[in-house]
Amino acid sequence: MSDVTVRLVLAAAVMAVSLVMASSASPSSSSPSAPSHDYGDALRKSLLYFEAQRSGRLPYNQRVRWRAHSGLTDGLEQGVDLVGGYYDAGDHVKFGLPMAFTVTMLSWSIIEYGDQVAAAGELVHALQSIKWGTDYFMKAHTAPNELWTQVGDGDSDHYCWQRPEDMTTSRRAYKVDAEHPGSEVAAETAAAMAAASIVFRNAGDAHYAHLLLHHAQQLFEFADKYRGRYHESVRVVKSFYPSSSGYKDELLWAALWLHRATGSRRYLDYAVDNADDFGGTGWGVSEFSWDIKYSGLQVLASKLLLEEKDLSSEQRLVLEQYRSKAEFYVCSNMNKNPGGAARNAPRTPAGLLFIRAWNNLQYVTNAAFLITVHSDLLSSLGEPLRCLPDDDADTSDTGGEAAAEVVVPAAEVLAFAKFQADYILGTNPAETSYLVGYGEKYPRQVHHRAASTASVKQEKGFIGCAQGFDDWYSAGGDNPHDLVGAVVGGPDGKDRFRDERGMYIHTEACTYNTAPMVGVLSRFMEIQRQQGEQDL
């Protein structure tokens, strides 16, 4: 199916999506009385957030003016230039695994919805957000089998409440190499650079795309040849970003991105040949995150059924198995899997996905993105979502009868993604937008050192570790600066939210929360525009 045909199919689905959104009374779609949202405004603000998270020497066109240069000696002690990159959240450690995942998701958002981002006038800012990460990754990849994966120490950092410009905590750097492997972080960085290479190639920067792809291929070979758990080599990361799923999901994920970036069959063969042994066609899970990539790679693999024209029968069979697990994920999030709670993701009373208490909205934004992408695939194929019963389920309570398959129209799938996005933007019991700066009511006490402290440009005096806690962290009232575009951790399992700096499991924001929202907001901005044209 050509790109033009795909666009026509997706456009034809807009009216169906609109009807589903307007008619459904379930928590899987917006209610008729729910306010409409300005997705374009939310998109513009989401991209602004990444500028607030920059480490290093800030450029002349920096829009977040209350930030200044920081981390200018990163890597100096180890004799390597590690200036740049992103702080992951409200602290000042540069953690390689979540940073790479952030860049992968930003890149995927632009690959899928770059035309919409360009239509909003935000493509330049999106490219800059990606490049700020990939420039750093190229610095950090100092040899074919060597990747610097962390700068700073999480323990000492968390004892200080300082602006990044005042940091006095350790800036020691840590790496993985052949003797101390870290397959998760090396493979995720390979995925990020491969995905970014597609973005820059499409943007006309062939030279930069080539550099990224060179690094991506080397990093994948390193991750695969020297297999080992990231947190076992870099032990200081274990309390913050340990890998619970292991590295096999990242290896499959990186292979699929390299296939998409290069067209090389060897990467597709890798994902097909290792699909069973690595769990790609065996693991059906209900979450997608910086740690657990199975659902993401399964959705990515499913797209090959549409995009690849020359698949062998074996490859198609394996890709269909990937798709089956992708649809388990979508069905689970929509509460459509036959079999009850054990096979479906939990939700709050108001319908928000609730995977974990700590920073739950990271799972919601990732789910909204994957479900949006998969709904587009279903529309392109002209097929519904099929939620299958568990073949091994106990049927004693149903008189020996197996549960029936549940069939869900593609428009309803997209409507569910919209419901989750709208909840984040303020259509929720608290009537609070969890994307900072969007709407009339949003978190004002985000758990974030820089945003909660006076700008170094206004108050040039040094702020020490304890002083920051005494004068700023413990101070009542709103932060001096809105962390515009940040998606915070969000409400608890009963839809309750307390806007307090000390409630960090709810008020801290992370780069990987916002990254998938770039794609989600772009998609719904397009639908909103098309609906407006139809109303004329």
pLDDT greater than 80 at residue 10: no
Lookup: tokens for 250: 């990242």
pLDDT (0 to 100) of residue 156: 87
Please tell me the distance from the alpha carbon of residue 312 to that of residue 15, in angstroms, as a whole number. 36
- Say whether pLDDT at 15 is over 70: no
131-137 average pLDDT score: 98
Nearest-10 Cα torsion for 136, 137, 142, 145: 170
Confidence at residue 300, expressed as pLDDT on a 0 to 100 scale: 98
Mean pLDDT throughout 28-36? 50
Start-to-end Cα distance in the chain: 30
CB atoms inside a 10 Å sphere around CB 441: 12
DSSP string spanning 373-414?
HHHHHHHHHT--EEEPPPTT---GGGTTPPPPPEEE-HHHHH
Question: 350: helix, coil or strand?
Answer: coil
DSSP-derived letter for residue 388 is P
pLDDT of residue 338: 95
Asked whether residue 22 carries a pLDDT value surpassing 60, the answer given is: no
pLDDT bracket for residue 402 (50, 70, 90): low
pTM for the model: 0.93
> Residue 173, SS3?
strand
| Residue recorded with tokens 């693999």 | 301
User: How confident is the model at residue 34, as a pLDDT?
Assistant: 55
CB-CB neighbours of 140 under 10 Å: 27
Q: How far is CA 128 from the centre of its chain?
A: 17
| pLDDT over 90 (residue 91) | yes
pLDDT of res. 30: 39
- Out of 259, 447, 448, 481, the active site residue is 447
Q: How many other CB atoms are found less than 10 A from the CB of residue 417?
A: 28
Residues 170, 75: Cα–Cα separation, whole Å:
11
Q: Residue 481 catalytic? A: no
What would the pLDDT profile of 479-522 be if each residue is shown by its tens digit?
Answer: 999 999 999 999 999 999 999 999 999 999 999 999 999 999 99
Q: What angle do CA 305, 309, 310 make, to 5 degrees?
A: 110
Task: List the one residue out of 13, 95, 5, 94 whose CA is nearest residue 379.
Answer: 13
Structure tokens that stand for 117 in this block: 């981002």
Tokens found for residue 236 = 């200081």
Least confidently predicted of 1-10, 49-58, 226-235, 423-432: 1-10
Looking at residue 357, what is its pLDDT? 95
Query: Residue 28: is its pLDDT beyond 80?
Result: no
Rg (CA), the chain: 22
395 pLDDT higher than 50: no
Distance between CA atoms of 304 and 311, rounded to whole angstroms? 9
In angstroms, the CA 477 to CA 322 distance is: 49
Mean pLDDT over all residues of the chain? 91
What pLDDT, in 10s, does the model give residues 287-342?
A: 999 999 999 999 999 999 999 989 999 999 999 999 999 999 999 999 999 999 99
* Residue 447 φ then ψ, to 5°: -75, 90
120 token code pair:
């909003």
Mean pLDDT of the region 171-178: 97
Please give the Cα distance from 367 to 333 (Å, whole number). Answer: 8
Q: What is the pLDDT of residue 532?
A: 74
Residue 536 or residue 262, greater confidence: 262
Contacts with 480 (C-beta within 8 Å, 6 or more apart), sequence order: 66, 451, 452, 453, 454, 455
**Residue 533 reports pLDDT greater than 70:** no
